[in-house]
């Protein structure tokens, strides 16, 4: 067996978590019970104001906005931390 997989958290396990908007905002701002960091391979913020406003309106109307893809990066500063792999524009709007 290659790697350091444990019975508690095998590497190929996929977990789906539902976060509130508040939890997401707090994690992105470094406050709250979870942390998110944005890796260097992300392209940066490119959505214009109108696109961000449309997304916010979709959230207000409880419309689906797609999911975010995050990789569990371990415990940092005594809290679970995730690397944002996909969803930068949506999560920062």
pLDDT digits (tens, 9 = 90+) for 17-54: 888 889 988 998 989 899 998 888 888 888 899 999 99
**Which strands form 79-86's sheet, in the order they lie side by side?**
35-37, 79-86, 69-76
Q: Which two tokens stand for residue 54?
A: 């449309």
The yes-or-no verdict on residue 87 having pLDDT over 90 is no
Instruction: Check residues 71 and 6 and name the one with the higher pLDDT.
Output: 71
All residues at 6 or more sequence positions from 56 whose CB lies less than 8 Å from its CB, including other chains: 93
């Amino acid at each position: 067996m290659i790697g350091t997989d444990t019975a508690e958290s095998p590497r190929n396990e996929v977990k789906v978590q539902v976060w509130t908007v508040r939890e997401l905002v707090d994690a992105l701002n470094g406050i709250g019970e979870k942390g998110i960091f944005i890796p260097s391979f992300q392209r940066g913020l490119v959505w214009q104001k109108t696109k961000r406003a449309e997304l916010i309106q979709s959230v207000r109307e409880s419309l689906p906005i797609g999911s975010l893809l995050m990789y569990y990066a371990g415990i940092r500063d005594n809290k679970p931390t995730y690397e944002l792999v996909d969803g930068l524009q949506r999560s920062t709007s």
